[in-house]
């Protein structure tokens, strides 16, 4: 058991809204939190867009301290009502449009949810916090991405908290906009905000459009594995459970107004990652339609504006809060492949007509 799996001895229960709690990372966070802090009140606020899925929380259905509300973070009246009615002291803000390829096809939804939605939450929480007499224990935690820092060359140092922002996609630009608003709410109003910028996550409940689940599912279906460009782009990969333990550490021990970078110390080229997934599937899946799965690897047209490399310097969270990732890339990928192999009933319904239409648009 790591330090982050143990409940602190003296701790007041929290009342949280988790926005985007039916998405990939948000639902993993709700599982983590409900298991570790069963006395806390958790209100999940999620619009259930194409990426939101109540099945992600199925194992928690019926828990007395968990409430699910389907709603939009841009709906100020709804948020004001929830903050008051539930006497919320903490917002863990995950809700976002999160896929770069979709942001290239249609950036409008990204500005609306990521910028306007975050602004709406900040305003609602500011009034709620001020009306309560500005309690020092309140927290607004904004979950963000390393993509706001732009792209690195092979020999550049990793992103730190002081790296200048240089977002390149509509997704990362909209997240950067929301980050700036969060920063301003601390600086201007003294609101107790926290912010984390994390590298690429992977693990259970990851929607099929993202690299790792897409490759796992295509291997199982015998479909081509579309690798963008030359496959040499580098991402830092973090197992989602480690992201959740980092968020837990920041919410409990982070200094208001501060930003913490979170990373997995796992820089991998896309082609190497896809090859690792093929090898795991060759080993673990007895009935592959195409074997070895590497035969399916297909280089396709590059993503416009494709960032070359992301890397995270996580020294600050490590030295100030004592957090380090527990999972290795080999162990995390094995767990993830096993999860997709044993949860076909979770991902098969997600390959809907809408998803197929999206897929044709990106990969045609």
Indicate which residues carry an active-site annotation: 146-147, 171
CB-CB neighbours of 175 under 10 Å: 29
Provide CB contacts within 8 A for 116, sequence distance 6+.
74
User: What residues numbered 299-358 form the site for ligand TYD, per CB under 6 A?
Assistant: 303
Report in angstroms how near the CB of residue 172 gets to ligand NAD at its nearest: 9
Provide CB contacts within 8 A for 236, sequence distance 6+.
146, 158, 199, 200, 263, 264, 265, 266, 267, 268, 310, 311, 312
User: What residues numbered 247-286 form the site for ligand TYD, per CB under 6 A?
Assistant: 270
Instruction: State how far the Cα of 249 lies from the Cα of 129, in Å rounded to an integer.
Output: 22
By CB under 6 A, residue 243 contacts ligand TYD:
no
Closest CB to ligand TYD among residues 61, 272: 272
Pairing relationship of beta strands 267-269 and 234-239 according to DSSP bridges: antiparallel
By CB under 6 A, residue 207 contacts ligand NAD:
yes
User: What residues numbered 33-92 form the site for ligand NAD, per CB under 6 A?
Assistant: 46-49, 51-52, 72-74
By CB under 6 A, residue 208 contacts ligand NAD:
no
Instruction: State how far the Cα of 160 lies from the Cα of 164, in Å rounded to an integer.
Output: 9
Question: Among 269, 266, 256, 277, which residue's Cα sits nearest to residue 324?
Answer: 266
Report in angstroms how near the CB of residue 343 gets to ligand TYD at its nearest: 19
Stretch that binds ligand TYD, among 24-32, 60-68, 160-168, 223-231 (CB under 6 A): 223-231
Residue among 34, 47, 73, 211 that touches ligand TYD (CB under 6 A)? 211
By CB under 6 A, residue 233 contacts ligand TYD:
yes
Question: Among 275, 271, 262, which residue's Cα sits nearest to residue 330?
Answer: 275
Closest CB to ligand NAD among residues 289, 305: 305
In b/e form, how buried is each residue of 304-328, taking b as 16+ CB within 10 angstroms? eeebebbbbbbebbbeebebbbebe
Q: What residue 65 binds from ligand TYD, ligand NAD, none (CB within 5 to 8 A, per partner kind)? A: none
By CB under 6 A, residue 350 contacts ligand NAD:
no
Closest CB to ligand NAD among residues 139, 285: 139
Question: Among 268, 315, 5, which residue's Cα sits nearest to residue 159?
Answer: 315
Residue among 117, 241, 254, 332 that touches ligand NAD (CB under 6 A)? 117
Closest CB to ligand TYD among residues 189, 228: 228
Closest CB to ligand NAD among residues 293, 310: 310
Closest CB to ligand NAD among residues 174, 285: 174
Instruction: State how far the Cα of 159 lies from the Cα of 150, in Å rounded to an integer.
Output: 9
What x-and-dash track marks residues 55-74 binding ligand TYD by CB under 6 A?
--------------------
Of all residues in the chain, what percent are helix, strand and coil, respectively (each to 5)?
Answer: 45, 15, 35
Output Rg (C-alpha) for the chain, integer angstroms: 20
Question: Among 176, 45, 46, 51, which residue's Cα sits nearest to residue 111?
Answer: 176
Q: What residue 280 binds from ligand TYD, ligand NAD, none (CB within 5 to 8 A, per partner kind)? A: none
Length of the chain: 364
C-alpha 336 chain-centroid distance: 16
Residue among 165, 228, 339, 358 that touches ligand TYD (CB under 6 A)? 228
The residues that touch ligand NAD, with contacts defined as CB under 6 A, are: 19-20, 22-26, 46-49, 51-52, 72-74, 94-98, 113, 117, 143-145, 175, 198, 200-201, 207
Residue ranges that bind ligand TYD, judged by CB under 6 A: 100, 200, 210-211, 214, 226-228, 233, 235, 270, 303
């Amino acid at each position: 058991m790591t330090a982050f799996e143990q409940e602190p001895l003296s701790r007041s229960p929290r009342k949280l809204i988790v926005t985007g709690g039916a998405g990939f990372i948000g639902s993993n966070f709700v599982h983590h939190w409900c298991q570790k802090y069963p006395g806390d009140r958790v209100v999940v606020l999620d619009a259930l867009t194409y990426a939101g899925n109540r099945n992600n929380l199925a194992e928690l259905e019926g828990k007395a301290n968990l409430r699910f509300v389907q709603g939009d973070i841009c709906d100020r009246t709804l948020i004001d009502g929830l903050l008051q009615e539930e006497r919320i002291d903490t917002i863990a803000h995950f809700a976002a449009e999160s896929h770069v390829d979709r942001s290239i096809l249609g950036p409008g939804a990204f500005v609306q949810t990521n910028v306007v939605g975050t602004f709406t939450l900040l305003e609602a929480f500011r009034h709620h916090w001020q009306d309560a007499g500005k309690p020092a224990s309140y927290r607004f935690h904004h979950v963000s991405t390393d993509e706001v820092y732009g792209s690195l060359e092979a020999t550049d140092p990793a992103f730190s908290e002081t790296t200048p922002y240089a977002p390149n996609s509509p997704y990362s630009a909209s997240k950067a906009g929301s980050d700036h608003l969060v920063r301003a709410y601390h600086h201007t109003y003294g609101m107790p905000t926290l912010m984390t910028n994390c590298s690429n996550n992977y693990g259970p409940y990851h929607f099929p459009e993202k690299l790792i689940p897409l490759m796992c599912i295509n291997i199982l279906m015998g479909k081509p594995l579309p690798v963008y460009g030359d496959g040499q782009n580098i991402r830092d990969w973090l197992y989602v459970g480690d992201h959740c333990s980092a968020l837990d550490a920041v919410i409990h021990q982070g200094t208001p107004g501060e930003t913490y970078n979170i990373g997995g110390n796992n820089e991998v080229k896309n082609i190497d990652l896809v090859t690792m997934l093929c090898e795991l599937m060759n080993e673990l899946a007895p009935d592959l339609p195409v074997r070895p799965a590497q035969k399916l690897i297909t280089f396709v047209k590059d993503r416009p504006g494709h960032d070359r490399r992301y890397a995270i310097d996580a020294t600050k969270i490590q030295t100030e809060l004592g957090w380090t990732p527990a999972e290795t890339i080999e162990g995390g990928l094995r767990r993830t492949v096993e999860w997709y192999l044993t949860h076909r009933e979770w991902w098969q319904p997600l390959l809907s007509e809408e998803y197929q239409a999206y897929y044709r648009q990106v990969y045609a």
